[in-house]
Amino acid sequence: MRKCLLLAAGFFMLFTFSAYAQQKIAYIDIKQVIRDSKAGKAANTSFQKEVEAKRAVIEQKRKALEDMRQDVIQNGAVMSESKRRNLAETIEKKQKDLDRTREDIRIELQRKDLELTQNVLKDIEAIVNKIGQQEKFDLIVEKTEAGILYGSSATDITNKVISDYDASR
């Protein structure tokens, strides 16, 4: 009876290993695709231009606020009490406005970054699905999310995804 069980277990393991050996698995590095593809570079360039424009708005408001503070420091001694108080209130309002603007811009830029990334990821997913079907992969995983510490370059299809993605645009 024991020999039969061992023999059955051996056959089971043999078939299990042969099934795994027949699977075709690949991986991609999504970050590299986003960083190196034409669409990813274009999205990044567009985003950076928007960041710089928003940074200029913040800098303009910060500079105006700093000028008002310098005015109080330099001319505060000769200003009337009511003028100094009004200027202090204006500075406080402008500081709150600057803080609010910074937060609004931060949230807006986060949304924009997420939107751009999701659009690129949607396109990448379509390319990966196409490659998976054409080359009959059983499984394609993302390098960093899957926790791949080592993978043969033969199973890395990142460059193929980049070239197919660039060709599709």
pTM metric for this prediction: 0.71
102 contacts: CB under 8 Å, gap ≥ 6: 58
**In order of start, what are the domains of the chain with their CATH numbers?**
23-168 (3.30.910.20)
164 contacts: CB under 8 Å, gap ≥ 6: 127, 130, 131
pLDDT per residue over 46-57, tens digit each? 999 999 999 999
Mean pLDDT of 83-88: 89
Residue among 14, 12, 28, 32 nearest 137 (CA): 28
Are the CB atoms for 155 and 36 separated by under 8 Å?
A: no
142 bridge partner residues: 28
pLDDT value at 14 more than 50: no
86 bridge partner residues: none
